[in-house]
Structures are given as structure tokens and as C-alpha cells.
């Protein structure tokens, strides 16, 4: 997967791997409907805007929102997160563009709204974490 990622800046291979790992951990937690694991990929002090524009500040707010959402309106939603670009902002601060593809529970792509997310991932004392992000819904391409 990392061979298909556009890399802008001098990002060492181990940093690339760690940052992509954060995105994969987020995907795994979302698909497992695990609000604790999902919130743990975020820094304690973070700012996140979800696909409907709700801003959450701090890991605790993300966990508080995610717990009921993953059991309610997101319970049948699954996705694949593909990192498409890494942009070095500063040493140990990487902007990450992610393409989100809706899938079924087995990971097979399905028709539905896609997502385009931008995460800012930085090294923190506890490891690499999302410090800011925005998720944007993208309507699926029309069949022509």
C-alpha cells in the first residue's frame, strides 16, 4: 500500500509506516465498532470534524460521541481507509489524505457515500496520534 502513496517531503520509511498504521488502526476500530480503540488513535488534545460537520475537541469528546453513534446510526456502516498522500508539515507532523470506501462487514466495496478525510498526525509522548482532522462525504460517481 505504501508504494501507491504520494509522499511530499523527506518522510522516513519508519514514519510513513507509523502514520499509515494510525489510519489502519482507526479503520479497524471503526469497523469493529469499538469507541475506545477509535478514540485512542487521537491525541488527548485534538480537534476533529466528522462527515456531518460536528466538531469534537479532545479524545474524551470523540469517545463520548462515538460510543452511541457506532451502536446506532453507524452500526451497519463499514469502510476501507486508503492513505493516498503524505505531506510533511514539520518534523514529526504529517498531513494525511485518506480515501474512504464504503464496504460490507467482510470488507467488500459496496455502493454508497465515500469519504475524503484529512488527518494531521504527529508524534506525541504516547506515539503517533491524530491531532486534527476533517472528514468530508463524497457522493459515489454516477454510472455512465
| Segment (H or E) for 26 | helix 13-32
Whether residue 102 contacts residue 110, with contact meaning beta carbons closer than 8 Å, is answered with yes
Number of domains in the chain: 1
Instruction: List pLDDT tens digits, range 57-72.
Output: 999 999 999 999 999 9
Residue 127 lies in a domain: yes
Whether residue 132 contacts residue 120, with contact meaning beta carbons closer than 8 Å, is answered with yes
Residue 9 lies in a domain: yes
Q: For position 7, which CATH number holds?
A: 3.10.450.50
Residue 29 lies in a domain: yes
Residue 70 lies in a domain: yes
* Phi/psi of residue 136, nearest 5 degrees: -125, 125
Range of the domain at 25: 2-138
Residue 15 lies in a domain: yes
With a cut of 70, which residues of the chain have pLDDT below it? 1-3, 141, 143-144
* Phi/psi of residue 34, nearest 5 degrees: -110, 95
Residue 133 lies in a domain: yes
- Which pLDDT value is given to residue 1? 43
Residue 143 lies in a domain: no
pTM (2 d.p.): 0.94
Residue 144 lies in a domain: no
- Which pLDDT value is given to residue 3? 61
Amino acid at each position: 500500500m505504501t508504494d501507491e502513496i504520494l509522499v511530499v517531503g523527506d518522510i522516513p520509511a519508519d514514519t510513513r509506516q507509523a502514520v499509515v498504521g494510525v489510519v489502519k488502526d482507526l479503520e479497524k476500530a471503526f469497523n469493529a465498532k469499538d469507541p475506545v480503540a477509535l478514540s485512542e488513535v487521537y491525541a488527548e488534545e485534538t480537534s476533529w470534524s466528522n462527515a456531518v460537520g460536528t466538531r469534537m475537541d479532545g479524545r474524551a469528546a470523540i469517545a463520548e460521541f462515538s460510543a452511541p453513534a457506532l451502536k446506532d446510526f453507524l452500526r451497519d456502516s463499514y469502510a476501507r481507509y486508503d492513505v493516498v498522500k503524505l505531506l510533511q508539515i514539520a518534523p514529526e507532523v504529517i498531513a494525511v489524505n485518506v480515501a474512504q470506501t464504503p464496504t460490507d462487514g467482510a470488507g467488500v466495496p459496496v455502493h454508497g457515500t465515500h469519504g475524503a478525510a484529512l488527518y494531521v498526525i504527529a508524534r506525541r509522548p504516547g506515539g503517533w496520534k491524530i491531532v486534527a482532522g476533517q472528514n468530508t462525504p463524497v457522493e459515489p460517481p454516477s454510472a455512465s
